[in-house]
Amino acid sequence: MQPIRRLAMVSLHTSPLDQPGTGDAGGMNVYVIELAKRLAQRGIEVDIFTRATDSTLAPLVEATDGVSVRHIHAGPFEGLTKEELPGQLCVFAREVLRAEAAQPLGHYDAVHSHYWLSGQVGALARDRWGVPLVHSMHTMAKVKNDALAAGDKPEPVARIIGEEQVVEAADMLIANTDLEAKQLINLYDAEPGRVEVVHPGVDLSVFRPVDRAVARAELGLPLDAHVLLFAGRIQPLKAPDVLLRAVDVLLRRDPSLRSRLVVPIVGGPSGSGLDRPESLAALAHELGIADVVRFVPPVSQATLARWYAAATLVAVPSYNESFGLVAAEAQATATPVVAAAVGGLTTIVRDGHSGFLVDGHQPEAWAHTLGRVIADPALLTRLQSGALEQARQFSWEATAAQTLAVYQRARSLMRESVA
C-alpha cells in the first residue's frame, strides 16, 4: 500500500488558527492543529480547509512546516452563527473541490473531516476524488441532547440527520474514547469494524510541571491560596456556574476560607453563553463571592499551562465532554482535576488517583469533593503525583501514529467496497 503523502483536513466552522477558549474555538481547534503538526513531522503534507471569518485573512497561510490553512470564502465573514452554517455548505464544498482541481490529478490521498458540518463536505470530496474519508465527530447531537444543562438549547433535528449521514458515508470513524465508540455504534448505528478509538494527546513540552511558587508569582496569585481554576468556554454545557455555586457552599460552611480562596475563570463566552455574556459575573455577585472570583480572557497555550501549574485543583464540571482536553492538559502540569463523571472525562481522570469524578452537578457534592482535597495536604500531594502519571498516557505523537494507521485502514476498506 502506498504511503499517505498529502492529506486534506476539513474544519469548516472553526479555524485551527483561532484562539481557543471563546466563540466556537476550543479543544477541537487544538486537536486539528496539533495532529496536523505531528503528521507533517512524519512527512505528510496537510492542507486544512476552514471558513474565512475575516476579509483580511490570506487565502493560504502556512501554519508550520508542512501544514497549510486554506481560508474558504463562504457566506458573510462575521455574524454567521454555527446554526446558520448549513446554508453555506454548498458554497464551501464547491470552493474545496475547486482548490483540489487546481492541483495535479490524485493530489490528496485521504480526507479527514472534523465535526458533522465538515463531514458533509468530506463525503462529497471522498466521492469526487476517489479517496477514503475518515471522520471525527468531536461532539454528537444525540449525546448532548441527553445531557442538557438548565437553560441550554437542544441540538436541532437537522444536525442529527446530518450526523447520521456522515456516519453512513465515512470509511472510518475515529472516536476519542471507548465510550464515544459505543455511542457511535449504539446511537448512530455505526458498523463496529469502522470505528477506531484514538485518544487525543497533550503537548507535553508545553504542559509540564512548573514550580507552583514561580507560576503564582508570574500570575499575581498568593503563594498560600487555594486556587480552584476553571478553563474553557463560558457556556451552559461547560457548567462554570457549578464551580461558583460549590464555592458559595464552601464559604458558607467555612467562612475562614475566604481570605485564602481564589477562583480564576479563564475563557470567554461561547455558544448559548453569548446570549448573556455577563451572566457568570452576575452570578458571582448574586452569590456574594465576586471578591474571590477572577475573570481572565482566553490566553495562549503557554500561559494556560502556567495557570494550570499555579492551580491547586482544576474543575471540569461539564455536562458532556467527548474527551476533556482541559483535564488532560491540567494533569500534565501535575495539577489534579475534579471533573463531572461524564463522557471522556471518565477516561482522562482516574478517580481517586489523578483527581476525583463527581456524579451529577449538585453544588453540595462538588463542594464536598473540593473541600476534601484542599483540607488534606497529603491527599493533594498524592493526587499531584497521580495526575502526572496519568498524563503520560497521552501524547500527540502517539495520536498521530494511530491516526495514520486509521487512514491506511480506511484506504483498504474503501478498495474493498469499490471492488
Which residue ranges are tagged as binding site for Mg(2+)? Answer: 308, 311, 335
Which ranges in 254-357 belong to alpha helices (H)? 279-287, 301-310, 325-332, 345-348
Which ranges in 102-239 belong to alpha helices (H)? 116-129, 141-145, 157-169, 178-188, 212-219
Residues in the annotated binding site? 13, 19-20, 24-29, 82, 115, 139, 159, 233, 238, 299, 308, 311, 321, 329, 335
Instruction: Please report how the helices 116-129 and 89-101 are oriented relative to each other, as an axis angle in degrees rounded to 10.
Output: 40
Q: Position 253: which residue type?
A: R
**DSSP state at residue 148:** P
User: How big is the CA angle at 280 (ends 278 and 285), to the nearest 5 degrees?
Assistant: 95
CB-neighbour burial class of residue 241 (10 A; exposed 0-12, middle 13-18, buried 19+): buried
Instruction: Please report how the helices 325-332 and 301-310 are oriented relative to each other, as an axis angle in degrees rounded to 10.
Output: 70
Residues in the annotated binding site for 1D-myo-inositol 3-phosphate? 13, 24-29, 82, 115, 139, 159
**DSSP state at residue 18:** S
Would you state the torsion angle of the CA atoms of residues 78, 80, 82, 87, taken in this order, to the nearest 10 degrees? -130
CA-nearest of 68, 197, 83, 54 to 141 is 83
User: How big is the CA angle at 200 (ends 62 and 136), to the nearest 5 degrees?
Assistant: 75
CB-neighbour burial class of residue 81 (10 A; exposed 0-12, middle 13-18, buried 19+): exposed
Secondary structure class of 139 (helix, strand, coil): coil
In terms of residues, how long is the chain? 419
Separation of alpha carbons 208 and 305, rounded Å: 7
**Which grid coordinates are listed for 261?**
480562596
Max Cα–Cα distance, the chain, nearest Å: 72
